[in-house]
Structure 1
Amino acid sequence: MKNLTLLVLAAASSLVALTEAHISFRYPCPRRAPYDECPKPSGAHSWSDIDYDPRTPLGTHDRQNLPLPKWPDSFAGTRPVFTAGLTVNTTYDVGAVHKGGSCQWTLSYDGGKTHVVIQDFFRNCLRDAVSGRTSTLPVKIPANAPSGNAVLTWVWNNNEGNRELYASSADVVIRGANGGSLSGVKPALCNYGPASCYIGEESVSAGNWGEAHFKAREPITITVPAN
């Protein structure tokens, strides 16, 4: 009876954490997410490896709480296949909207070590989302994106509330050219530790939503060898 009570309490606390958190990917499935449609743990992973709090921020301007990507891998399962040049309707599990913010989407071909930004939506990203519902945003995969296993990451700085950085990473397959390069800029990881760029609340910073930091992003080229 005692063990059953502990299990119930643990499950309840996990649900509370998910409810009180903020925003994450829903599709494609973020790594180790608890959503019903996402892969489940097997083999080297156990049920204790599930991320019951996928919507929590990775950090604040004072502290990096979690790495990017948050987890080193996904549970084994079928990865969604995205075709280069086409648009993907990504969905988000929305807890708190924080009056929107600035979104960046990146691709990585080395498991999440290096990222190139493939799309931006500054200032008003997810402003019209509704707490407790999913929200959809279109993301176009670059026409010259090379084929291969990749990590699609969404990065978000909120306009209101604690100065935080949110991000979700999902393992996907890109169907494109056999080898090649993808050029762009590195993501701006603001409000992610004391050494990071700082974006204040828009309402108290005369409308400053971090434009200068996004304009100053470093160029990067990712090269994927042909098979």
Structure 2
Amino acid sequence: MKSFLATAFVLLSGFTLLADAHISFRYPCPRRGAYSECPQPGPGQWEMIDYDIRSPIGTHGNIVSPMCKHPSSFDGTRPVFAAGQTYQANMDIGAYHKGGSCQWTLSYDNGTTWVVIQDNLLTCMADASNGVQYKMPFKIPAGAPSGKAILNLMWNNNEGNRELYSSCADVVISGTNGGSLSGVAPLIANYGPNSPFIQEQALAGGDYGQAYFAARKPITVTVPATPAKRSLFGRRHN
């Protein structure tokens, strides 16, 4: 069984997922993604691969999945992103829905608290095509603290069902040892009947939820400094 699943995992390295779905990170690797860029599952984990990773986490009428879909990734090396640097994410596009509004967010507490680090509103992925991979730049803030984090791309589509997409990747930020990161908390819209409702952009006369995005609340996340490691040989005496 494992041999068969391992072969299927490798085959997906050159193809998009076959499930009826829409968008996901391909790089950095989404949690439990079935891409060649992702860590392979360990013993007893092959059934945990998410072959529907591109699906939305909810609609305005229903919450389907938690924000990151899965509580963790498979064991493996996390990509390291340096504070102040710009990188390219590789997106797997099933249906681009004439673009939408993207919020790039970071969490240092495994998804309890999020801070927006970059907005691409209204036109995010508007020049993509269905069934292709698509490059998107993102920048890690210059003052971002060091530590393990989750990079999340939240996306509200312009056309079609009123949905929220969330693609989470476990990463390491190389920045300041200890400190804080300030920004705004993300808008979580079209995610259950109690969430803000963003209508299809064309039907709303061009309104993509500007008032909701403008009303996002300021937030600061603080990451404790990591103590310097002491020498195994103790203090040197002169």
Give the aligned partner of residue 134 of structure 2: 135
Matches within 5 A, 1:1-227: 18-43=18-43, 46-227=45-226
- Cα distance change, pair 19–49 in 1 and its aligned pair in 2 (3 A): closer
Tell me if the contact between 1:123 and 1:209 (Cα under 8 Å) persists in the aligned partners: yes
- Cα distance change, pair 79–17 in 1 and its aligned pair in 2 (3 A): closer
Give unmatched runs, 5+ long, in structure 1.
Answer: none
What is the alpha-carbon distance in structure 2 between the residues aligned to residue 37 and residue 105 of structure 1? 20
SS in 2 for 1:48: helix
Greater Rg by CA = 2
SS in 1 for 2:186: coil
SS in 2 for 1:220: strand
Q: Once the two structures are aligned, what percentage of the paired residues are identical?
A: 59
Give unmatched runs, 5+ long, in structure 2.
Answer: 227-238
The one-letter amino acid of 1:84's match is: A
What is the alpha-carbon distance in structure 2 between the residues aligned to residue 36 and residue 216 of structure 1? 39
Tell me if the contact between 1:18 and 1:54 (Cα under 8 Å) persists in the aligned partners: no
The one-letter amino acid of 2:41's match is: P
1:29-51 deviation per Cα after TM superposition (whole angstroms, max 9, x unaligned): 000000122111115x5111111
The alignment covers a number of residue pairs equal to 217
TM-score (norm 1): 0.91
**Greater share of helix:** 1
Tell me if the contact between 1:98 and 1:160 (Cα under 8 Å) persists in the aligned partners: yes
1:106-151 deviation per Cα after TM superposition (whole angstroms, max 9, x unaligned): 0000111110000000000000011111111110000000000000
The one-letter amino acid of 2:143's match is: N
What is the alpha-carbon distance in structure 2 between the residues aligned to residue 180 and residue 170 of structure 1? 22
The one-letter amino acid of 2:20's match is: E
The Cα shift of 1:18 comes to 3.4
The one-letter amino acid of 1:35's match is: Y
What is the alpha-carbon distance in structure 2 between the residues aligned to residue 149 and residue 223 of structure 1? 13
What is the alpha-carbon distance in structure 2 between the residues aligned to residue 161 and residue 16 of structure 1? 21
The one-letter amino acid of 1:155's match is: M
Runs ≥4 in structure 1, deviation > 4 angstroms? 14-17
TM-score (norm 2): 0.87
SS in 1 for 2:180: strand
